[in-house]
Structures are given as C-alpha cells and as structure tokens.
Amino acid sequence: MRFCAHCGVKLANDNPKCPLCDMDTEKIDDEFSLDYPYIKSRFTRGLLIRLISFMAVVFASASFMIDHLVPTGSPWALITIAAIVYVWISAMNLLRHTPNPASIALCQLFCIGGLVFFIDFFTGFYRWSVNFVIPFLIIGAAIATTLMIAIRPMKYRAFTIYQFVIAALGVLSVLLWVFGWSEIEWPVVTAAGVSILCFLAMLVFSYRRTQHELKKRFHV
Ligand SMILES: [Zn+2]
C-alpha cells in the first residue's frame, strides 16, 4: 500500500505517482492490489501448442514403428495416426487466440467427417460414414450454428459465413449420392434440406445484416 502525503490518501495499488495530484507517493507496506486482472502470458498457450504437437509426433511415430515391427495386416496404425491428426487439429483450433464457436463447429465437421471416412475406407468401406455420419454431422453443425445465432445475436456477424459454408456443404453432400458414394438417399437430402433451411432462417430473420455481411465477404 502507498500513501500520498499531499492528499492524505492511501492507495491500494503500487503506483509511484498519486492519481489525484501526480506527486510521488511513499510505500507504507508491501501489500498492494493490481489495477487490472492478471492475464497469463501467451507463452503458456505457445508451450501447450508445442507440447501437443510434440506428443502427436511421438505417438504417431510410435504407432508407425510398432506396426512396422509387428505387422498385423490390420489398418490400426493408420487409424490411430488419423485419430492423432484429428486431436491435433482440434487442439490447434481450440487454442487459437479468439476461438469462434462456429469455426469450432465447422472445424469439427470437417475433421470428424474426414476421420470417419478414413476409418470407413480402411475397414472394408461399408459406407456407413458417407451414408449416415457425414450427413448427420452437417445437420448437427447447421442446427448448432443456428442455435449460436439465436442465443448470441450480437455475435451474428462472426457466424454468417460459417452458416453459408455449412449450407453449401449440405448441398454438395447430395453429390455423394448422385455419384454413387452413398447408397442411401434420405440422409443426404435431409442434410441439404436442413442446412438450406437454417441458412434461409438466418436470411429471413436478419435479411439486411446477412446481405451486408455476404456482400462484404465476397466483395460483390
Ligand atoms: Zn496526492
């Protein structure tokens, strides 16, 4: 705690100058409180990123080596490495400076979609990933982003572009069925329908803001 002899006030912080008269203050004890909350430095986050990256490389190399030394003929090492890549991308996405929940939803859509497709492809390709998981991930992401906009309309601008990308993915998912990758039509059609409806709901309820945001993003 500090004391200003001129004003006769005690200061809770550690300022060498008095905020009232700008005269020098004297230290009366070692206790003081900070004016602003203490924010941990980025170093911790940077360290965490390096640690996760290092662990990912270690585990991926270990899986590769074990598979090489003890061949089993099963694709477990590839799947493990794919899962490690998924965890690593998710961690990097979450540890970004200002993680946007819609960007996390979209990142998860891509990463989980990629991971399940990879696992499906290397385990006989029974098409469960393209038939069900990917369309339902699109539906989930579209509904989640709509809820985010409904809950936090002030953050609306940050969500617009993600809602648009999800709707585009929903429409593109129909191609999975058109080109015969997916054998079941209704999930992809539902994904396209739900994601377009979510996008339209956003347009209808905040037409002007969406129009402005899309114009800005696409420079039209
Ligand atoms: Zn003073």
Q: What is the pLDDT of residues 205-217, one digit of tens each?
A: 776 677 777 777 7
The percentage of the chain sitting over the pLDDT mark of 90, rounded to a whole number, equals 43
CA of 22 relative to ligand 1 center, distance in Å? 6
Neighbours of ion ligand 1 (CB under 5 A): 4, 6-7, 18, 20-21
Residue whose C-alpha is closest to residue 162's, from 176, 174, 144: 144
Beta-bridged to residue 3, according to DSSP, are 10, 26
Return the ∠ at Cα 22 (arms to 17 and 27), rounded to 5°. 30
CA of 26 relative to ligand 1 center, distance in Å? 11
Residue whose C-alpha is closest to residue 173's, from 149, 150, 196: 196
Q: Is the pLDDT of residue 5 over 80?
A: yes
CA of 15 relative to ligand 1 center, distance in Å? 11
| Residue 141: predicted pLDDT | 94
Where do the H-state alpha helices sit in the chain?
A: 42-69, 76-94, 101-121, 128, 134-151, 156-178, 185-205, 207-218
CA pair distance 142, 137, nearest whole angstrom = 9
CA of 48 relative to ligand 1 center, distance in Å? 44
Q: Is the pLDDT of residue 90 over 70?
A: yes
Residue whose C-alpha is closest to residue 91's, from 51, 63, 60: 51
CA of 10 relative to ligand 1 center, distance in Å? 9
For the residues 75-80, what does the mean pLDDT come to? 89
Say if residues 85 and 78 touch (Cβ distance below 8 Å): no
CA of 37 relative to ligand 1 center, distance in Å? 24
Residue 139 CB neighbour total at 10 angstroms: 21
CA of 11 relative to ligand 1 center, distance in Å? 10
CA of 153 relative to ligand 1 center, distance in Å? 46
DSSP assignment letter at 59 = H
Q: Is the pLDDT of residue 85 over 90?
A: yes
Confidence band for 52, pLDDT divided at 50, 70 and 90: very high
Q: What is the pTM of this model?
A: 0.70
Calculate the average pLDDT of the chain: 87
